[in-house]
Structure 1
Amino acid sequence: MSRGEGAGMLTESLMALAAAGGTAVVQAAGTEAWGSVRGGVVRMFRRRPDQEDAVDRDLHRTALLHASDDAEATSRQVSLWEEHFSALLGDEDDRVRQPAEAELRRLVSLVPGVADRYPELNIHGNTYNKSPTQHGNYNHQEINYGSDE
Structure 2
Amino acid sequence: MLTEALLALAAAGGTAVVQAAGTEAWGSVSEGVARMFRRRSGDGAEDGAQRELDRTALVLASDDAERSSRQASLWGQRFAALLSDADDQVRQQAETELRQLISLVPGVADRHQVLNVHGNTYDKSPQQYGNHNHQQIHYGSDT
Task: Name the TM-score class by shorter chain.
Answer: 0.7 to 0.9
Superposed displacement of residue 133, structure 1: 5.5
Identity, % of aligned positions: 62
Hey, what does 2:129 align to over in structure 1?
none
TM-score normalised according to structure 2 size: 0.78
- Is the Cα–Cα contact under 8 Å of residues 88 and 96 in structure 1 kept in the other structure? no
- 1:34 equivalenced with 2:26 (yes/no): yes
1:108-144 CA-to-partner distances (Å, cap 9, x unmatched) read 111011111122x12423531x54258xxxxxx6538
Give the counterpart letter for 2:105 in structure 1.
V
TM-score normalised according to structure 1 size: 0.75
Hey, what does 1:127 align to over in structure 2?
120
- 1:73 equivalenced with 2:67 (yes/no): yes
Give the counterpart letter for 2:17 in structure 1.
V
SS of 1:89 mapped into structure 2: helix
SS of 2:24 mapped into structure 1: coil
1:15-51 CA-to-partner distances (Å, cap 9, x unmatched) read 1100000000011011000111011101111121274
Superposed displacement of residue 98, structure 1: 1.8
CA distance in 1, matches of 2:2, 2:26: 27
When the two structures are aligned, how many residues end up with a matched partner?
Answer: 128
SS of 2:100 mapped into structure 1: helix
Superposed displacement of residue 11, structure 1: 1.3
Aligned pairs for 1:39-58 within 5 A: 39-47=31-39, 48-49=41-42, 51-58=45-52
- Is the Cα–Cα contact under 8 Å of residues 14 and 76 in structure 2 kept in the other structure? yes
- Is the Cα–Cα contact under 8 Å of residues 44 and 99 in structure 1 kept in the other structure? no
Aligned-residue Cα RMSD (Å) equals 2.2
CA distance in 2, matches of 1:74, 1:54: 20
Say which of 136, 140, 143 aligns to 2:140: 143
Aligned pairs for 1:82-97 within 5 A: 82-97=76-91
Give the counterpart letter for 2:25 in structure 1.
A
Decide which structure has the larger Cα Rg and report it: 1
Hey, what does 1:5 align to over in structure 2?
none
1:52-91 CA-to-partner distances (Å, cap 9, x unmatched) read 4442221011121332121121111111100110011112
